[in-house]
Structure 1
Amino acid sequence: MRTNLLRTAAAAALAFLLTGCAGDTSSAVRPETAGGVSRATRSEPMGDVSRATRPGPAGGVSSKIASVRGSRITVYGAKEGARTRTITSPNDYGVTRVFLVERDEGKWLQVLLPIRPNGSKGWIKAADVTLAETAHRVEIDRGAFGFTVYDGDRAVRTGRVATGEAGTPTPPGRYFLTELVRPVDQDGAYGAYAFGLSGFSPVLRSFAGGPGQLAIHGTNKPSAIGTRASHGCVRVSDDDITWMAKNLAIGTPVVVRG
């Protein structure tokens, strides 16, 4: 789950992001000042879109990522329509706010929004963002407990996942990566890394002070992979989440099926 990192300690924010994904948050983070980090802990936001921009694959399968230029952006219900909300940047983790572009119509972009209900879309002005492109996407099959990372139309990484329990399921849908966090305790419940997702639990409107945000993260209980074990988040092996952290940009699309 997530809370406002700009107003609270990073340790608490990471716990709020991921509380409910694992049963215990006590080992998630701890205060640490080593390494020159100015915040309370080294639960560091790490992702950006700098590695996203490159030529599209031969198959032409790619997605556009819009990064907000200023400190806030206006979202409209329709092109030239009334404004519906203002979203600030950076996000709660100090990461530049990004959106996954669904339609590019020149001066206007329809984007997927990181808000409830899942799948919400809005229009933003192209002049308010910087565009990048990624050929990567992540597909998660809930029924098969598996994931595949594609580079264009080519599978480049596959693995197993754990998903939400029956009472707190991982909701199907189209999402995107919103931030990358490295927990202090690499052997803790959330493993080596955690990616925030743009979606939210359909059951947990709030949990431990956070809004019920979903995530993809590592685990210190690999035996649970291949089962329904979480409160909605997707767990993968530490090897897999480390590969994702090194190769996937913030904004990369994630599709949950099944």
Structure 2
Amino acid sequence: MRRSLMPRGTAGTLPALAAIAVLTAATACSSSSGAPEEPSGEVGGAGGAGEAAASEGAHIATAVGDEVEVRSEPDGGEVVHTLASPNDFGADRTFLVRQVRGDWLEVLLPVRPNGSTGWIEADDVELTVTAFRVEIDMSEFSFTVVEGGEELRTGPIGIGTAETPTPPGEYYFTELLQPSDPEGDYGVYAFGLSGHSDTLETFAGGPGQLAVHGTNDNSGLGGEVSHGCIRVSNDDISWMAERLPLGTPVEITE
């Protein structure tokens, strides 16, 4: 499990965290700037909001200011969260868009409980689109990266134990971290997820946030070995880090 940052000025949550690598939109196939052509109704997300939405891809909202207010309802709803940007790891605050209603976006939130949504103003973010998504099948101990309708890469995974299970659900990547020790427990890269453990309220000083990360021990792949995170090989997480933007939807199924 990826922990959250400890108090500023102290060691990070990944052992001796050295840098934060935030993916750019340099790859034309992964994302493109601009709002949806018809900004209304449901749009593509981790779970797929219909065939038309799935063909468009997932819509990612990235903050353009230093904070984003999240409301319970569009246009005048109560402010339920105020989320800073960059986030604690220095990555631009991102959200996965579920639907668009005029000048408002319903987005998936990186907060407890898992699956929480809220409404943000479109003017507070920049919209991009990605055709990528990650499908994680815990029953098969495998992941698949899909672009549009094409399967690009698949591989084995390690998941949470019975005491600290990996919660199924719809998530997205919130930051990309690069540990200073590539031979450590977290491997060469770790993508933070928008979700949290259902059994651990805290973990090593943090809020029990989930991650998809590499590993220094491939023998754990194909089994129940983690505190809730998804482990993949260092080769697989490196491949993802080179291609997948922040905001990429991740669907975890049992």
> Under a length normalisation based on structure 2, what TM-score does the superposition of the two structures give?
0.86
Query: Contact 2:25–2:32 at 8 Å: present in 1 too?
Result: no
- For the residues of structure 2 that align with 1:226 and 1:78, how far apart are their CA atoms? 42
Give ranges in structure 1 of 5+ residues lacking alignment. 16-27, 30-40
Q: Does 1:14 align with 2:13?
A: yes
- For the residues of structure 1 that align with 2:249 and 2:24, how far apart are their CA atoms? 12
- Paired AA for residue 253 in structure 1: P
1:158-177 counterparts in 2 under 5 A?
Answer: 158-177=154-173
Q: Does 1:45 align with 2:40?
A: no
SS in 2 for 1:79: coil
Cα RMSD, aligned residues only: 1.8
SS in 2 for 1:223: helix
**Which residue, out of 109, 116, 131, partners 2:105?**
109
1:61 is displaced (CA, Å) by 4.2
- For the residues of structure 1 that align with 2:152 and 2:100, how far apart are their CA atoms? 27
1:6 is displaced (CA, Å) by 7.4
Query: Contact 1:193–1:245 at 8 Å: present in 2 too?
Result: yes
SS in 1 for 2:13: helix
| Count of aligned pairs between the two proteins | 231
User: In terms of mean alpha carbon deviation, does 188-197 or 112-121 score higher?
Assistant: 188-197
1:105-184 counterparts in 2 under 5 A?
Answer: 105-184=101-180
Q: Does 1:208 align with 2:204?
A: yes
- For the residues of structure 1 that align with 2:32 and 2:152, how far apart are their CA atoms? 17
Alpha-carbon distance change, 232 to 137 in structure 1, aligned in 2, over 3 angstroms: same
1:84 is displaced (CA, Å) by 1.4
Partner of 1:62: 57
> Under a length normalisation based on structure 1, what TM-score does the superposition of the two structures give?
0.85
**Which residue, out of 73, 78, 82, partners 1:82?**
78
- Alpha-carbon deviations, 1:206-248, whole Å to 9, x = none? 0111000000000011011000000000000011000000010
Q: Which structure 1 residue ranges, 4+ long, deviate > 4 Å from structure 2? A: none
Alpha-carbon distance change, 126 to 69 in structure 1, aligned in 2, over 3 angstroms: same
Query: Contact 2:3–2:204 at 8 Å: present in 1 too?
Result: no
Q: Percent identity?
A: 48
- For the residues of structure 2 that align with 1:50 and 1:104, how far apart are their CA atoms? 22
1:50 is displaced (CA, Å) by 2.1
1:5 is displaced (CA, Å) by 6.5
- For the residues of structure 1 that align with 2:93 and 2:166, how far apart are their CA atoms? 24
SS in 1 for 2:106: strand
Partner of 1:190: 186
